[in-house]
Amino acid sequence: MDKKDVQVDRGDLKQNLSEKFVWAIAYGSCIGWGAFILPGDWIAKSGPMSSAIGLIIGALLMILIAVSYGALVERFPVSGGAFAFSFLGFGRYVSFFSSWFLTFGYICVVALNATAFSLLIKFLLPDVLKTGKLYTVAGWDVYITEIIIASLLLIVFMFIAIVGASVSGSLQYYFCVAMVITILLLFFGSFFGSNFSLENLQPLTNEHSGWLTSIVAIVAVAPWAYVGFDNIPQTAEEFNFSPNKTFKLIVYSLLAAAITYVVMIFFTGWLSTSSKSLNGNLWLTGAVTQEAFGYIGLAVLAIAIIMGIFTGLNGFLMSSSRLLFSMGRAGIMPTVFSKLHPRFKTPYVAIIFLVTITLIAPWLGRTALTWIVDMSSTGVSIAYFITCLSAAKLFSYNKASNTYGPVYKTFAILGTIVSFIFLCLLLIPGSPASLSIPSYIALAGWLVIGLIFFFVRYPKLKQMDNDKLSQLILNRTEDELVDLINENKSTKANQ
């Protein structure tokens, strides 16, 4: 395949995403359902102040990592994001596994949003969903009604993703606007709530764990809490603006997400009338909202959550399908994933595959949410680590180099260290945020499936032409990449 053919193939992805739509994809994906469902869990685990500090630190660390994404997108505005960047730095084999785990992280988030929607309905209409009990998982009763609701939601968004590629960005933007308005109403209204008191924030941290452990436990959640900013690089081929604006959009989305998380933690904390409520409610934020404002307040909160769930589903189905599309187009994954819908020009096979896998999650029950969060954090942390390493390898401190970028290289090194620390916190047993046994088992299972895929694909992977891969993945010939990456070495040789 010559370069002209590659460009024709790339042209099927339309450049119709504006800056505000791309920002909405990132912000809406970062927030999802977690900001409204999990504050009670975080407060019980670490206390309100430690949770807020941990999430702010997490956002700042994510910005360190985001520098590498912004710098790489500016030079390689292609679909696939971390997949393309890991190929740039380490070739086809590393990019396969890096992208495999990132795909897993994305699938987890899609599943989480669908399952959280069932949880919301269960809280609002408990009698309706408590019919058709099937079994119990880790102490949680699973009902067929919950499974049906979550599954239908996934299927609806599957069709939106297939049919509505041209409007996904605008849908995301209006979902985000609605979500922000409802969050502001809740926050400012909370000062007038009947159960509002700053005394309710006590204790500020988990008194048994202490400040440091409490904060670190929340910081470790950051890769999951802020996963979504990397959806921007996934859609880079569809920007209708200059890719050098990428980093700015990522920072804005991360700061907005951090503010949202902190606002909802304090909202939940200062409306909690007693420490007993931390353990006595299925969903603390919903309980305190209902106590303070009745069903009107609960309806406003429900709108915020529904918008968050919709933005998560829409954003991650869009970005994860682009990831699989890019891998399929290059032949790293089966080429069927690069197949576009004849009418809508969307990677419909990839979308159907992703939704099919996520349809498993509703059968696992509420307890599985914690397992999935942990696994998702691990998957995206691996992608962050490889991307920052790739940026550190590409950029140079040598002024004569084509890739001279001392600031980028320094931030890439810092981002690599931060990503590695995140991985250690998650994977080393005994750390404040180490995975649970079910999470380890599921992660190992995904690795085994990946290895099977890899060995099946290995003969084809080994025979692929480097020039063809470079053009398909990075839209650069192999010679162009060699000149770019080896410039530092050649200038030293000439000196």
Confidence at residue 390, expressed as pLDDT on a 0 to 100 scale: 93
Confidence at residue 2, expressed as pLDDT on a 0 to 100 scale: 45
SS3 at position 341: coil
How distant, in Å, are the alpha carbons of 201, 209, 277 from that of 205?
Answer: 9, 8, 16
Confidence at residue 373, expressed as pLDDT on a 0 to 100 scale: 66
Query: End-to-end CA distance of the chain, in Å?
Result: 38
CB 345 within 8 A of CB 161: no
More confident residue, 339 or 489: 339
SS3 at position 404: strand
The one-letter amino acid at 311: T
Q: 495: buried, middle or exposed (CB in 10 Å: 19+, 13-18, 0-12)?
A: exposed
Taking residue 263's Cβ as centre, other Cβ atoms within 10 Å add up to 18
Which structure tokens are listed for 387? 């991307």
- Helices (H) and strands (E) counted in the chain, each on its own, are 22, 2
Helix or strand holding residue 133 (H, E): strand 133-137
Confidence at residue 275, expressed as pLDDT on a 0 to 100 scale: 46
pLDDT at 58 exceeding the cut of 80? yes
Residues 6 or more apart whose Cβ sits within 8 Å of residue 59: 222, 226, 254, 255, 257, 258
Confidence at residue 279, expressed as pLDDT on a 0 to 100 scale: 46
More confident residue, 14 or 53: 53
Confidence at residue 242, expressed as pLDDT on a 0 to 100 scale: 81
How distant, in Å, are the alpha carbons of 19, 106, 177, 227 from that of 32?
Answer: 20, 12, 14, 10
Confidence of residue 488 (pLDDT cuts 50, 70, 90): very low
- Average pLDDT for 83-107: 86
Q: What is the pLDDT of residues 368-383, one digit of tens each?
A: 666 766 677 788 888 8
Confidence at residue 414, expressed as pLDDT on a 0 to 100 scale: 96
Residues 6 or more apart whose Cβ sits within 8 Å of residue 273: 195, 200, 288, 291
Q: Would the pTM of this model clear 0.95, i.e. be above it?
A: no
Q: What is the pLDDT of residues 428-477, one digit of tens each?
A: 888 766 788 888 887 888 889 889 888 888 888 888 888 888 888 887 88
Q: 8: buried, middle or exposed (CB in 10 Å: 19+, 13-18, 0-12)?
A: exposed
Minimum mean pLDDT range among 114-128, 297-311, 395-409: 114-128
Q: What is the pLDDT of residues 254-271, one digit of tens each?
A: 999 999 999 999 999 888
Confidence at residue 10, expressed as pLDDT on a 0 to 100 scale: 45
Taking residue 402's Cβ as centre, other Cβ atoms within 10 Å add up to 16
Buried b (16+ CB within 10 A) or exposed e, 429-457: eebbbbbeebbbebbeebeeebeebeeeb
pLDDT at 106 exceeding the cut of 80? yes
The one-letter amino acid at 13: L
Using the structure block, give the residue that is written with the tokens 């979550």: 150
Confidence at residue 489, expressed as pLDDT on a 0 to 100 scale: 45
Confidence at residue 105, expressed as pLDDT on a 0 to 100 scale: 79
Buried b (16+ CB within 10 A) or exposed e, 178-195: bbbebbebbeebbeebeb
Helix axes 82-124, 437-463, angle to 10 degrees: 150
Dist. CA 108–CA 341, nearest whole Å:
25
Dist. CA 329–CA 343, nearest whole Å:
19
Dist. CA 142–CA 122, nearest whole Å:
11
Which structure tokens are listed for 456? 């099946």
Dist. CA 423–CA 417, nearest whole Å:
10
SS3 at position 283: coil
Residue 25, φ and ψ in degrees, nearest 5: -60, -45
DSSP per-residue letters across 134-164: EEEETTEEEEHHHHHHHHHHHHHHHHHHHH-
- Average pLDDT for 153-182: 83
